[in-house]
Each structure stands twice: as structure tokens, then as C-alpha cells.
Structure 1
Amino acid sequence: MVDQKELINAVKETVSREDVRYIVGYEEGTYGFETAPSFAYTSDDARKFIFNPLCTKNLVVYPILEEKLPLKREEQEDDRKIGIVVKGCDSRALVQILQEKGLKRENLVLIGIPCTGVVNTKKIKDKFPNQTEYTDVKEEKNHYVFSIEESVQKIPKKELLADVCKECEYPNPVIFDILIGEETEVETEPTYIEVREFEEKSLSEKWEYWKKHFENCIRCYACREACPLCYCKTCMADFLDPQWIRRSVDLSENTAWNIMRAFHLAGRCVSCGECERACPAEIPLMKLNKVLEKEIRELYDYTAGLDPEEKTLFGTFNPDDPEEFIM
């Protein structure tokens, strides 16, 4: 469990530096089991910072999408560093962005937090649908503990743990400047059990599965907005000339959108699960991402977001790469 005082002191000390503009982390939300992004511009702001199993959001999305407004005459750009609180998967997303030159390492201060997994907020809301006030959740001996209406609830961790956390290989930040607490032991390796079971289905069964889900897509693009690696200035879905995808919400266009987005994340997705978590239609988007992750690992022995000095998957060429797919 993260020492909140240690986190707050680290944020206070960091944001007080002259070369730091602000730090983004987590604070208590205003409803139920939701936390919210918190921005510390002064040391006083740091008092709001928290970290617990409800801190699901990938905060790397904020600096990558920061809007740079035109400067007034004789005004200089604020080039101070931005601080980010990162879990293991968040740090991998940041590494991927650094590889792609989306951000510069020297412009960032990273406060790393070893993570033992986050809660699937949809599962906990289903168990307590009437909870409207923010409720803090703590992890104790493989259980999540929290109070509701003056009653202490203790639920086995495995019942509420987010699916992406169950096979997390990198619970510790792979890149950081300050580490809060001790590193977590890595206990899992990817088995891709669900992917392998899905691959055994017939072609018609696979299509019926995705058809059922893609029909529910409302094309709100919440998956795109939540993903730190969807940061193109103009998304393919927004192009009008040429128009790659029509604006109509129907099975054909919904399928095109979801498959296109999955392929744009091939060799880049870090399994943070933000896309699936943000989807109001509850489409199992991570199943698509995991299929591609498995293929890339088996074909090219490549895992995204580990080394900022390493080239991206599609930025390299290896003459020994398998070519079975070439006709």
C-alpha cells in the first residue's frame, strides 16, 4: 500500500522547483467509487493527492494532449517540466510516446508508484449501485476493504480486480525519477487464455461475437479520448477528404472504426485498459488489443513500452523476421 504522506511530500517538493510547471496525479472524486485527475500548481495543491486501487485512469493522456496556444508578442513559451504520477502501465505508455518523439524526456518529471492492481469500477458499482458519496478503498491481505453506511466491507481482491491487472507483467514503473514505496514482485506471465479460447471458435462464431458488440457502439470515441497513444492531431475517423469512415452509426462503419483503431495500436498498446474502461457500451476492446499483442510477441518477440531508447516495432527491420503472411 502506498504511503500517502510520502506521495504528498514528493509532490510538494517537486512542484516547488522552479523548473516544474505542474504535476498531475489523483484526488478523491465527487461520486461513488471514482477518483479524479488532480493538478498541483503549488505545494498546497499537493495535499489533495491520493493513490489507492480506485486510481484507474492513465494520466499520460494529459501532457500529450496539452494544447499549445499562440503566444502574444514578446511572450515566451513556458518550457518548464510537467510532472506525472505513473503506474507500471502508465509508464509504458509514456515510453512508447518518447520512442515516437511525442514528448521529450527532459520535459518531464515522473513520480513512479508500484501498483498491485486496480479495481474494476464497473464490478464494484454493480455490487453497490446506490453508493453516491466518494468511498476510499484500501487493499489488505488480498482483500479490498472500504466502508459503506458505517459498515466495513471486505471483498476478495480477485472478485473486483480489473481484468488487465490479472496478467500484468510490469506492475512497477519502467521509467521514473522518484519512486514512492518499494517495488512490487512480478508474479504473472501472460497466458492469453481468453485469446486462445477465442481463436478456437469458428469464423462464424467469431463474427457473431463481434457483431453483437459492434452493433452497440455509439461512436462516441471515448476509447480514443481515454487512450494516451491515440494522439494524432487529426484522427483517421475525422478525415473528410478522403473519408475513410462514414459518420453513420451502423454495423459496417462501427466495425471499420474499431478494427482500424486496434490496428493503429498494434505494437503500441501497453494494456492499460483505458479504452475498455471508458466505453459506455462495454465493448471488450482489450480482447482485440490482446489478439494483436499475442501475434506480435510470437512473430517478432516484441513488447511495447519498455525502453525509451529502443526503436518502435514498425521503425525497425530485421531480415530474420518471419514472412509466412506474404503471399
Structure 2
Amino acid sequence: MGVIRNKKAFLAFLLPGLLFYILAVFYPIEESIRLSFMKWGGIGKKQFVGLKNYVTMFHDEVFYEAFFNNLIYLVIVVSMQLLIGLFFAILLTYMTKHVTLVKTLYYVPCIITTVAITQLFRSMYSTEPMGLLNQILQKVGLGGMVTSWLAKVSTVLPAVSIPEGWRFTGMYMVIFYAALVSLDPSVYEAAKIDGASEMQILFKIKMPLIKDIVLLTLTMCLTGALRGFDIPFLLTSGGPGNASELMSTYMYKKAFSSNQYGYGSTLAVFIIIESILVVYILRKIFTSKEQKEEKRIEKERIRRNRRGNH
């Protein structure tokens, strides 16, 4: 009876969260998949068109432009959030004072509203009046580089990517820091005694030990960047032209601005599929590395046993 009672309690606590997740995540995904086979303007009868929306998508030049823009956006955002976050997390492990203050200061951008961050960077990039970025360039003698960052085709995509990268750097820093400080010091103190440098300890011992956290953060960061929408849309709405158009902003325009809900749902399904593929590929890469490492350890153990027998 105790086991049955525990199972019932488990289900009772799990059910509300599961129902909410189904309604908030799975139902919208199911509706997007269903609507991707329809032609619908938001009002009136839905018309089944089969794969026509998918054929249209793969013949849409703006779709390809948005896709490649999304890849560049992804590289910038992921590089900033993970590399800078990891770098500051490592620095924090060597600090002995004011660690909590530093973590709090770096985490603050995560809790600032999107509109406030957008306005902050719009002011920094502006030319009339002169924004902070252009003022700094003038002060250091690089006045020739002063430009309207959000209106120039060659600079707009990095300009809308940097705010998103900066915003969540602190969050990943805190995650990496928590993983690093949770390691048992005795694991790498032996390496110090053997003469290993700090860099060797970091890359040969600490990083392999937190590989599961690296996989988690990389998955979160990549899927988040693939779905990036709010800051790029508020800054430029995909302009000038389609220079900063992302998959998510293009999907929003088609669905809610042009009332092409069927085609917009097709773009949403594509975003879902590429997010799933990214997670699958990452897990395959990390799993294969783990299997190789296990084989290497097994071979080393066999070699040592043979030496012991001789």
C-alpha cells in the first residue's frame, strides 16, 4: 500500500506541471504542424493544401536569407554567451572576495526587460544624437568608423546579435561557476603535485569533468539562438531590407502581419525541426566522445594489467 500511495502522490504532484507543459508546448506544436498543411488567413474556413506551403518555403529567397542570417546570429550569440561566460566563471574561481557581488552584477542583464535592453543598445548605436559607441570611436581616433550601425547592411546583423549575446552571458557564467566550484579539489590537487600547470588542469581535468554541464548549456544556447526574436525584431524588424531577417522574425511577419498563418506555421515547424536536429547532433557528438574516452580508459587498464603480470 505504501508503494501505491507513493506512486499516487508522485502522479498528483507531476500532473499539474505535465498538463501545463502539454497545453503550453505540445498543443501549440501540434497546431503549428496541422496549420502548416493549410491555407488560412486567420478568419474563415481553412483550406487543406498538402505540402504546398513547404514547396513554397524552399523556393522562397527570403527564407534562405533568413536561414543564413540565423546561422551568423547563432555563431555570434553562442560564442559570446558560452566563451565569455566560461572565461569569467574561471576567473571567479580564483577570486576570494566579493564573489557574490560580481556574480550579481553580471547576472543583472538577465532580469532587465527586453524593451529596456533594446532601447539601451539603440541609444548606443545611434548617430543623431551621437551614441556611446560612436563617441568612443571618435575619442580613440577612429572617427572614420563612425556609422549608423542599425541602418548599414554590413553591420546590422552583428549589431542585433551582440545585445542578445551580452544579455545572457551572466546566466551561463553562474552555471559554469557552480559546476566548477562543485568539483572535488582532491581530483586536481594531485595533478598540481605532479607539476601540472593551471591550463593543463583546466583543459585536461576540470573541463572533462563538467562536460555534461557544457552539453546542457550548449543545447540551451543553440536552441535559444535559433528561436531568437525579441531584440532583433524590436531593433530593426528584419531591416534594412532583409539584412537582419531571422527565421523567427520572418515567421512572425508571415503569420501575424501578412495573415498567412499556414505559411507562418510552416516556418515555425522548420524552426522546431532544426532545433531538434541540433540537440540530436550535439548528443551524438558528446556520446561518441564519451565512448571513445571509455575505450581509451579500458585499453589503458588492460595495458597496466599486462605490465603488472610481467
Same fold flag (TM > 0.5): no
Q: Which one has a larger percent strand, Structure 1 or Structure 2?
A: 1
Q: Which one has a larger percent helix, Structure 1 or Structure 2?
A: 2
Q: Kindly name which structure, 1 or 2, has the bigger radius of gyration based on alpha carbons.
A: 2
TM-score (norm 2): 0.23
